[in-house]
Structure 1
Amino acid sequence: MSNSDSHLRSIDLFNQRNWDAFAADLAQDCELVDQARGVTAKGPDQWMDAEKAWVAGFSDAMVSNARIIDGGATTVLLFTGSGTNDGMLGQLPATGRQVNLPFCEVRQYNAEGKVTRGEWYYDQVSMLVQLGHMPAPEG
């Protein structure tokens, strides 16, 4: 399986909540950086905690409209993340509101095709506005 195929497969695994299969694609020394929050997860357990935290906040969270850019040992996945905020999102209480937000995930792979690094990029301000936690910026 190519790295692009693996990255695209992770969408289905996330949407199905198939955590064991998702985690099987991660290298033991992997790290995930959530750039919007400035948080780094180290190792498969912490990476999976970060994935599951999204589902805790949005039990119906789905990834859709995926486009992949294949750079060989690095892939870039552009997608839409959506869901209803029906659980805690970090320290923020559930609002019952919908989120529909563009995301970018960059992954790097080792020679065995395991994910060694991931980076998430998304507009946290737009997410907080959609959830009603802050007013829209004037502009």
Structure 2
Amino acid sequence: MTFVQLIDCRTSRLDEMNRLIDQWVEQTRGKRTATHAVIGTDRSDAAHVVEIVEFPSYDEAMRNSKLPETDRIFREMAALCEGTPTFTDLDVVRDEPLEAAAARRFFETIAVRGPLPPLNGLLAENYHHHDPGEEQDALGLDNMRREIEMWRGAFDFTFSVEDQLTQGDRVCTRWTWNGVQRGEFLGLPNTGREVSMTGTTVFRFDGTGRIREGWWQYDRLGLMEQLGALDALEN
């Protein structure tokens, strides 16, 4: 179970504290078990500082605390504080990356059978679509909807999400797409073939939980080969 430690203190020497944390990060490279750290200051009281440190488990946190570098840096940090820092130990019972879930829901939504569901809850009205297979970017929700309908008119398909990484306002998803051609695609007549391709999509979110921009990379050449588009060139 993921474990989180909250360190609550008061200090007017935040710059010095940050330098100490930088030292700790450098000196514990390859040894520390902490996976994520966030430091925040209280908007109504700038001297009130909270540090949130995440570990894979409580046992890993205890192992981290026994590092000599951790003990030394903590004593130096405590000297910068007004009073003794307090610790709150938390076992994480729910950890839901909301933007990653929204990205996953987008892939599920555009693959549903029947009429395309509304996308305004997933995509911003000014969505910007980057696709290396297209001469121009698609700008706006309506243009993106037409792009999706083009694919849906040519294939019955599903997405399998293989991996997701989140950083800031961006979510990177590695996916596998499996489809069956049911209609004309880029001038190619319906073949009825089962096809697949892999790709990666990076979505940027707009702060309201909707996707504002997307960068797509996928094996379109491999897809065209599976559909027989390259046969004539090889003969």
* TM-score, structure 2 normalization: 0.53
Q: Does 1:125 align with 2:221?
A: yes
On the 8 A contact 1:80/1:100 being kept in 2, the answer is: yes
Match of 1:108 among 179, 204, 222: 204
Residue aligning to 1:51: 148
Residue aligning to 1:88: 184
1:62 shift after superposition: 0.8
Distance, in Å, in 1 between the alignment partners of 2:134 and 2:198 is 16
SS of 1:121's equivalent in the other structure is strand
On the 8 A contact 1:108/1:115 being kept in 2, the answer is: yes
Q: Deviations over 1:9-38 (max 9, x none)?
A: 112212325733433211111111211334
Distance, in Å, in 1 between the alignment partners of 2:141 and 2:214 is 11
Pairs within 5 Å for 1:43-82: 43-58=140-155, 60-82=156-178
More displaced 10-residue stretch of structure 1: 10-19 or 68-77:
10-19
On the 8 A contact 1:13/1:21 being kept in 2, the answer is: no
Residue aligning to 1:16: 112
Instruction: List runs of 5+ in structure 1 lacking aligned partners.
Output: none
- The RMSD of aligned alpha carbons is 2.1
Q: Which AA in structure 2 matches 1:47?
A: M
Q: Does 1:97 align with 2:193?
A: yes
SS of 1:36's equivalent in the other structure is coil
Structure 1 runs of 4+ aligned residues shifted over 6 Å read none
Instruction: List runs of 5+ in structure 2 lacking aligned partners.
Output: 1-96
Distance, in Å, in 2 between the alignment partners of 1:65 and 1:111 is 23
Q: Deviations over 1:59-78 (max 9, x none)?
A: x2111143211113011111
Percent of aligned pairs with the same residue? 24
1:43 shift after superposition: 0.6
Q: Which AA in structure 1 matches 2:140?
A: G
Match of 2:132 among 13, 28, 35: 35
1:80 shift after superposition: 0.7
On the 8 A contact 1:3/1:72 being kept in 2, the answer is: no
Alignment length (residue pairs)? 136
